[in-house]
Chains A and B, each alone.
Chain A
Amino acid sequence: MDLYGKMAATQDVRGKAEGGDQNFDYMFKLLIIGNSSVGKTSFLFRYADDAFTSAFVSTVGIDFKVKTVYKNDKRIKLQIWDTAGQERYRTITTAYYRGAMGFILMYDITNEESFGAVQDWSTQIKTYSWDNAQVVLAGNKCDMEEERVVSVDSGRLLAEQLGFEFFETSAKDNINVKQTFERLVDLICDKMSDSMDGDPAATTGAPTAKLTDSAPPLQQPSCNC
């Protein structure tokens, strides 16, 4: 089993061993990252609580919410981490990249600077996360068409170049929010399945030292999520 399999197994075992909610088959750790004020917190609130408020409150450090989804009769618990976009919190937020299986990298279609920073955020993922982490690029605030400064094509092209999936989203109008998370979960599940299939390239892939630090006793998860 490769590291990806280990990760899923790790999360699963931990949840049961420590007396938490046992009603899940997998737990995925996801992170939402991107520049300040692109709408990360609103995006998470829309997905987890189906709520939206236009008042902007800058996130302090880091926060998270939990949501359970179902896929092929498997219960998947999503631990979704909402990170502060401001530079001053970078030390604390990057510490939480470790062990993340998926990222939503967000920019604001009305803010050129946030789009320009996507490449830097992508580098942060490569630096602090592990190679198999899946990433979806999300161009948020697509309800604000009149203030758009980043075209759909630019977003799509950049996503292709970086090897990410791409969505334009709106937390306000609830556009593609659920789809973004569902696609990320699909990508993670696909990656897990590939790993379980015994792809020699995958299984021999050298895991990062950081991730193996806490590698638990192996357990074969029946990965058909």
Chain B
Amino acid sequence: MGQEISFPTSNPFNDPTFLSTFKIPSRWQPTFETKSYPSPSIFATLRRARIPKPNDFIPLFGDCISVASTRTQEFLVFKDPENKFHPGSEVLTQIFLMTYITQSVSLNLINNFTCTAMTPEQRILLGADWVWALLDKPSKTPKIQIAVQVLHLHEREEAEDHTCGQETYRESMQMAQRASSNRNMHEKMVDFCTSIGKDCYALFLFFGKKNDRENIYGVLSNNFEAANGKYHRFDRTLIENFFRGSRYLHTPSGMMHAIISKRRGDPLTLMIKFS
């Protein structure tokens, strides 16, 4: 796996805010006002102001994923006693995304780690359902991106073909299909990520697998193009095969740590358990 990047740690003695904590303000005047709340201890002034670190968002991201995965799982395991009603795959994707977004807004994560849901047209053109981006603070341009495509159990997708076909026939969808290449959705997303570079990862998110229908798993890589060129067809079976060769499943936070600490340009492929 990639070598860890050492992030520059600032020298506290070069930080003006550090030394200023020892100074008495020039306009300081003794005050005899009585306050209803206790004054901060003199030792409190010795503490350094907290400087945000590049990895600060990771626990928050982990929290958001945990809530979104748990909520999605509630619906993933749903079984109609009469076996007539099945929630559509699109609904499950929406539940995950809505829960994630709500949570990320409430935790104020969106300032430097954004989640952009794709329009229906973009989903066809680029193959992604949404894109996560870690932003470079001053420029607000993405430093790292993760394009996510959700894969559902076969039977759920098959049921959808008969029930939700109308959307597919929307005019703009047809245009998007025509405009994009004849590659499948998985290949389109890999192509999209490859066109950006090694700092753009493709994440295939499995809402249930054959041998474990009730959990959420993921395969993430910035190097899928290697497999894409090697095999005749980059399909679901090929993506699922990545799990066979893996002995370790990362947590979502672990995935993010691995991405952040990887040396720029190095390939990285991980298997993740999201629920």
Contact = CB atoms under 8 A, between A and B. Distances in A.
Interface of A: 14, 18-21, 36, 57-58, 60-66, 79, 86, 88-89, 91-92, 96
Nearest to A95: B195
19 contacts: A14-B178, A18-B174, A20-B174, A58-B142, A60-B131, A61-B125, A62-B126, A63-B119, A64-B121, A66-B171, A66-B172, A66-B175, A86-B142, A88-B196, A88-B197, A88-B200, A92-B126, A92-B195, A92-B196
Majority secondary structure of chain B interface residues (helix, strand, loop or mixed): helix
Nearest to A96: B179
Contacts of B178: 14, 18
B141 A86 contact: yes
A64 B118 CA distance: 12
A79 B171 CA distance: 11
Contacts of A66: 171-172, 175
Contacts of B192: 61, 92
Given A20-B175, A61-B122, A86-B142, 19 more contacts: A58-B116, A58-B141, A60-B118, A61-B125, A62-B126, A64-B172, A64-B176, A64-B179, A65-B121, A65-B172, A66-B172, A66-B175, A79-B175, A88-B141, A88-B196, A88-B200, A91-B196, A92-B195, A92-B196
Given A14-B178, A65-B172, A66-B171, A60 B121 contact: no
A63 B174 contact: no
B131 A63 contact: no
Interface in B133-191: 140-142, 171-172, 174-176, 178-179
B116 A64 contact: no
A36 B135 CA distance: 14
A26 B243 CA distance: 49
A21 B171 contact: yes
A21 B118 CA distance: 24
Contacts of B200: 88
Interface in B88-124: 116, 118-119, 121-122
B175 A63 contact: no
Contacts of B141: 36, 58, 86, 88
Contact of A64 (B131, B175, B197): B175
Contacts of B128: 60
Contacts of B142: 58, 86, 88
Nearest to A14: B178
B179 to A, nearest CB: 8
